[in-house]
Chain A
Amino acid sequence: MLLRRCGTDALLVEVDSLTEVAAVRAALHGLDGIEELVPAARTVLVKGDLHGIRAALKTVDLTRVPATHPREITIPVTYDGPDLDLVAETAGTTADEVVELHTAATYEVAFCGFAPGFGYLTGLPEVLRQPRLDSPRTKVPQGSVGIAGEFTAAYPRATPGGWRLIGRTGITLFDPRSETPALLQPGDQVRFVVA
């Protein structure tokens, strides 16, 4: 674990894996005096009272994520994405098998970014870990469900994007007027089901 200074009131905690990211996030979550806590792929950005933060980081055990009671979220998906056949071909299997693999796994929201409510979900089966498209789309429709590298995600709104799209969901992923604006938050458990 490496602590990198980030201005007068923030630290960038650098670790080696998503598991360690989850451990650091869990150790700091709910601590008094924290203004922002932003997990990412190999880092946790934390802004706030640096004394308390440094003290909490001294005792963090990176090898295990403390047991929590994550929220469980189910996302219904219509699997008719424009890249479904490409994904099946790359995986050396059929489109039906891709759907079975994608719906059988349990995912965790590792972090959010890119756009409000865009959650990066880990837990993708090995054969579905595939590269981004060579040429990103200028507009990915709202609700598109895609895969890229070790992640799967659903697009909360139409944005440019290079993920391989396997389906779409009608669920609201981000509503700024809602009490809980983002459907997905770091630490949540997610399953996809056929709509």
Chain B
Amino acid sequence: MSRTVRIIRTGPQALVQDLGRPGNAHLGVPPSGAVDPRSLKLANRLVGNPETAAGLELLLGGLAVEANASCTIAVTGPAVAVRVNGRLADSHHPVHLRAGDTLEIGTPGTGLRTYLALSGGVDAPEELGSRSTDLLSGIGPDPLRDNDVLELGPPNPATGADVVPPHEAPPALVIPIRLGPRDDWFENAETQLRQGSWTVSDRSNRVGTRLGGTKLNRRDGEIPSEGMITGSVQVPPDGQPVVFLNDHPTTGGYPVIGVVDPDHLRFLGQARPGTEVRFRPVDWASGSLT
């Protein structure tokens, strides 16, 4: 018999996400996948799934589901209230649901994205090797709606109780950035980046974290479209930088002043509108990020 859960309410946005479909940029296909992959991997480990299993990525929490079969779940990301049949349960810890139990996830006090892993993983059809919803291209499952029923895969034996720390989403971020490939479009690119300050715009989404603040002065014009990687900091003519996240277009025509290291992108992906952002250019010669 198939194991399923029913979505009672999605909250502001609920998407199926795994680790995405990198390696298809030459076809115009974005990598997609969880914006905070660390939190999704931890949630999967807590319920005995491989780290690559698909779970749900929730914007500002708010999800409620009913289990139609026994399953183990874990909620990760920023600290958030979790209730089973109305009674408080732990986040960042495996929780067992019996058939008929209702799970409700509150709104996190900080951060943006909550992850829910379910034992067996969400068994949506794969597209280009991934179950992730790509909001730019429309590849993968549609965003979830109330009353959707999700199939779960076969569960693995439990790995034993474990606890992981919540994601810390501070009100101000200092993000290491490596200059290039188009820093020569900017006068004193390093100084402009180091001295500027920005806040996360409410127009940010899975395509990119949009920043508002110091105008980055650049040459006029456009580059013939060129390939872009996740973490690229693209600067349109208005000088307000956009940091590309997982659903970014694979090519673009605005100069990229620098690239954020993959390990630091999740902090931008978890940053609420209004979060302060500064950049710390990293010396290429030093090699390592601290």
Chain A: minimal CB distance from B127 (Å): 4
- The residue from B22, B228, B260 contacting A45, defined by CB atoms under 8 A apart: B228
Is A5's CB under 8 angstroms from B27's CB?
Answer: no
Q: Is A38's CB within 8 Å of the partner chain B? A: yes
Q: Is A152's CB within 8 Å of the partner chain B? A: no
For B139, list chain A residues within 8 Å (CB): 116, 176
Report A117-155 CB contacts with B as 1/0, cut-off 8 Å.
110000000000000000000000000000000000000
Residues A5 and B178 in contact in the complex (CB < 8 Å), given A39-B26, A115-B137? yes
Is B224's CB under 8 angstroms from A42's CB?
Answer: yes
Is A112's CB under 8 angstroms from B180's CB?
Answer: no
Residues of A37-70 contacting chain B, CB below 8 A:
37-45, 47
Cα distance A178–B24 in the bound complex, in angstroms: 14
Is A42's CB under 8 angstroms from B226's CB?
Answer: yes
Residues A5 and B180 in contact in the complex (CB < 8 Å), given A36-B26, A111-B26, A114-B28? yes
Residues A113 and B28 in contact in the complex (CB < 8 Å), given A10-B229, A45-B226, A45-B229? yes
Is A117's CB under 8 angstroms from B28's CB?
Answer: yes
Interface size grouping (class) on chain A: 35 or more
Is A40's CB under 8 angstroms from B284's CB?
Answer: no
Interface size grouping (class) on chain B: 35 or more
Is A112's CB under 8 angstroms from B226's CB?
Answer: no
Cα distance A6–B244 in the bound complex, in angstroms: 13
Chain A: minimal CB distance from B17 (Å): 16
Cα distance A163–B262 in the bound complex, in angstroms: 35
For A38, list chain B residues within 8 Å (CB): 25-26, 227, 250-251
Report B190-212 CB contacts with A as 1/0, cut-off 8 Å.
00000000000000000000000
- The residue from B23, B28, B226 contacting A35, defined by CB atoms under 8 A apart: B23
Q: Is B96's CB within 8 Å of the partner chain A? A: no
Q: Is A71's CB within 8 Å of the partner chain B? A: no
Q: Is A182's CB within 8 Å of the partner chain B? A: yes
Cα distance A36–B179 in the bound complex, in angstroms: 20
Chain A: minimal CB distance from B271 (Å): 19
- The residue from A6, A39, A43 contacting B259, defined by CB atoms under 8 A apart: A6
Q: Is B128's CB within 8 Å of the partner chain A? A: yes
For A176, list chain B residues within 8 Å (CB): 127-128, 139-140
Chain A: minimal CB distance from B8 (Å): 29
Chain B: which residue is nearest A115 at the CB level? B28
Is A177's CB under 8 angstroms from B127's CB?
Answer: yes
Cα distance A56–B231 in the bound complex, in angstroms: 25
Q: Is B95's CB within 8 Å of the partner chain A? A: no
Cα distance A13–B181 in the bound complex, in angstroms: 10
Residues A36 and B27 in contact in the complex (CB < 8 Å), given A6-B259, A7-B229? no
For A36, list chain B residues within 8 Å (CB): 22-23, 25-26, 227, 229
For B9, list chain A residues within 8 Å (CB): none
25 contacts between A and B (CB under 8 A): A4-B182, A7-B178, A7-B229, A8-B261, A10-B229, A12-B181, A35-B22, A36-B227, A36-B229, A38-B227, A38-B251, A39-B26, A40-B251, A42-B226, A43-B224, A45-B229, A112-B250, A113-B225, A114-B28, A114-B225, A116-B29, A174-B27, A181-B127, A181-B128, A186-B26
- The chain A residues found within 8 Å of chain B, CB to CB, are 4-8, 10, 12, 35-45, 47, 111-118, 157, 174, 176-177, 181-182, 185-186
Name the 10 nearest CB pairs between A and B, nearest first.
A45-B227, A38-B227, A7-B259, A4-B181, A113-B251, A41-B224, A176-B127, A12-B181, A5-B180, A182-B27
- The chain B residues found within 8 Å of chain A, CB to CB, are 22-29, 125, 127-128, 137-140, 178-182, 224-229, 231-232, 249-251, 256, 259-262, 284
